[in-house]
Amino acid sequence: MKREYKSRILALLLPVLMLVHILFLPKISVAAKESSPADGEKYTIRLLIDVLEKTGKSSKRTVKIWKLSKENLIQGDILKTAKHFDEIDDEDKIDAELKYKGQLSKESVLDETISKEVIEIPLVQEKGEKSYYLIKESKESLARMAKRIESGKSQKLVTNLVEIPNKNMKDGLLAISMKSEMEVPSKKITLIKTDSRNEAVRLDKVSFRLYKKVDDTGLKDELVSVEGSAGVYKYKPTADKITEAYVPVLKTNTDGKIEVSDLPEGPSYYFKEIKASGEYDNNKNANIKGEDFTVEDGKEVRVKNERIPFTKKTDDNGKALEGVVFEVYTKEGKKLNFSKDTKKYGYGYLLDEKGSPEVVTDKDGLIFLGDMKKGEGYYFLEKEAPAGYEKSSQKYEFNVDENGVIYYTQKDENGNEVKVQDFLHIINVKPKGKKEEKGGRKFVKVDADDTRVKIKGAKFKLSQKLGDKFVDVEKDGKKYVVESDENGRFEVRDLKFGTYYLKEISVPGEYVIDNSPIEFEINGSSLAEAELVITNKKGKVPPTPPTRGPRGPLVKTGDIRILVFFATGLILIASGFAIVRNQDMKVKRA
């Protein structure tokens, strides 16, 4: 009988012991593994606390420490994460959010040799592991020090978030002053602005702003706070959301450089060009987001600007015409002389009284003029066309501003004069026996408030007015729709002479559609005329509501394993009961 009872006890006890092992022992072993890896690396964080009032005794302050992974960082930003947890007073809430119970440090001890109190935090990590540690004064310590902090005899300890291992460590020891802002890994980046045709030419006084990337939409990207001037700037931490009025515009110096130091590592950044300078004031890159980059020592970001050509020469198929000769005149009809630029920009021409009156298009059909004096009423004439093309007899007028930038005045669709800082596109055509009664027209789409800003992606439908109705023009069996390119330009071609209309059907981003039909004429010279300027105004964009909410619970792989083991234990218990019951039945039958 004793033997039978022993069998019964074992049959029931073994599954119960297994459940105890499943529910308790794995947690103990995992905790032991986390806190003390067998082949781990040892580090020490030493917190240094200023002593404002000498009493000869330690204030016995303590901190709580939480271990984080990179996934716990808010938007990958160490500083933002530290500030987030600094604002949470309830330590249990931090435990819940991080899925990690904060550990209490030893009490601070007084080190009179350095006139500071010291807390040392020993750490053990697996080899090659990179972790983050949140260090925040414990609520007990803060409560005990409240009166001294209020009276100015002590100060609240700043919440810190540090990466381990850390570049500032020496022999595995990282010292942190708890009176200062949190320790943030930081480095310097350099932007270099150059001419697109000659990188040796550096551009000064080009304006930029620096942004931190938040998401792929760009709607939440944050302006980076900096201070400084003349190409040399420094990151300026701030807890408040900043505006453009708060941060100076970053400008390149005479070396074409902008240096920004002390930028926090982690997030991605990008530069946005605000305004070019001098003969590059076509703003082709204005308000265009640059390439994303992360902070690295010695990191260089190169940005190029295209200089405004004096003119561009093509045939009616868009082919660049090389070797077209022009002469330039003042308002009074005086012919100007030029020499080839071999020093200032390394290409194009410079105004030179001892030079030649002829300027010639390069392989791209372009002519660049430099050192022009401010004035209005300049004009140029085509002297010699390429072989096989008709020479243009049109007189092309232009002006030069105080920065040497060439600009033209044109009328928009409302008949208003607008200033266009851009090149004039001139077309040569090949002579034909009998000219077809067909032509084209060129357009440029610009911002109504700043005509230097070109609008890409605006679409227009072409129509004619027949009687009281507008009839859509078709090309290749489809409605004739045109779209502005990155320079705001588009054109219509191969149209019979007559009156046509453009109707805007879509505009990009924040601009508002103008439904008014734009009337224009097609004739024998309309394609060679200056571009017709079409403007758009910006509308209000509704604010995007914040999407970041409280974090949900993290899934752990161990959770599934425990459930499986638990179910197995229950099955074993049921089996034990069945075995005992069968033995009882056998005894009764015997």
CATH of the domain at 60: 2.60.40.4180
Residues 471 and 333 in one domain: yes
Residue 441 lies in a domain: yes
| C-alpha–C-alpha distance, residues 280 and 207, integer Å | 12
If asked whether residues 426 and 500 sit together in one domain, one would say yes
Buried b vs exposed e over 202-239: b needs ≥16 C-beta within 10 Å?
Answer: bbbbbbbbbbbbbeeeeeebbbbbbebeebebebeeee
Domain final residue pick, 305, 329, 361:
305
Residues 349-358 have pLDDT tens digits of: 999 999 999 9
Residue where a domain stops, chosen among 255, 290, 305: 305
Q: How many domains does the chain have?
A: 4
Reported in sequence order, the residue ranges of 430-578 that DSSP labels E, i.e. its strands, are: 438-447, 459-466, 469-472, 474-475, 478-479, 481-483, 489-496, 498-506, 518-522, 532-536
Q: Does residue 561 lie within any of the structural domains?
A: yes
Where does residue 460 rank: exposed (0-12), middle (13-18), buried (19+ CB within 10 A)?
buried
Could you tell me the sign of the dihedral formed by the alpha carbons of 565, 567, 573, 576, in that order? negative
488 in a domain, yes or no? yes
pLDDT for position 122: 93
Distance CA 508, CA 289 (A): 16
| Same domain assignment for residues 241 and 93 | no
CATH of the domain at 270: 2.60.40.10
Are both 285 and 321 inside the same structural domain? no
Q: Is 74 exposed, middle or buried (0-12, 13-18, 19+ CB in 10 A)?
A: middle
Claim to verify: residue 371 and residue 472 sit in the same structural domain: yes
β partners of residue 47: 119, 176
* Domain assignment of residue 544, yes or no: no
Pairing mode of beta strands 459-466, 438-447? unpaired
pTM value?
0.45
Question: Are 517 and 570 in the same domain?
Answer: no
Question: Is the domain of 150 the same as that of 127?
Answer: yes
Does 34 reside within a domain?
A: no
Q: What is the pLDDT of residue 322?
A: 87
Range of the domain at 577: 2-25+555-589
Q: Which residues of the chain have pLDDT under 50?
A: 1, 22, 24-37, 180-181, 183-184, 434, 541-559
Do residues 323 and 299 share a domain? Answer: no
Is residue 31 classed as helix, strand or coil in its secondary structure?
helix
**Tens-place pLDDT, residues 97-136:** 998 899 999 999 988 777 788 999 999 998 888 899 999 9
**Of the candidates 502, 498, 511, the residue with the CA atom closest to the CA atom of residue 483:** 502
Q: What was the pLDDT predicted at 531? A: 87
Q: What is the pLDDT of residue 529?
A: 81
Q: Which residues contact 349 (CB under 8 A, 6 or more apart)?
A: 338, 339, 340, 341, 355, 359, 367, 368, 369, 370
Find out whether 308 and 405 touch, Cβ atoms under 8 Å: yes
Residue 87 and residue 200 share a domain:
no
Do residues 568 and 496 both lie within one domain? no
Residue 32 inside a domain? The answer is no
* 244/154 same-domain check: no
Among residues 256, 284, 305, which one ends one of the domains?
305
On whether both 21 and 51 belong to a single domain, the answer is no
SS (H, E, C) 289-325: ECCCECCCCCEEEEEEECCCCCEEEEECCCCECCCCE
Q: Do residues 404 and 280 make contact, with C-beta atoms less than 8 angstroms apart?
A: no
322 in a structural domain? yes
Q: Would you state the pLDDT for residue 297?
A: 59
Residue at 547 is within a domain: no
What DSSP state is assigned to residue 403?
T
Task: Show the tokens assigned to 39.
Answer: 């082949």
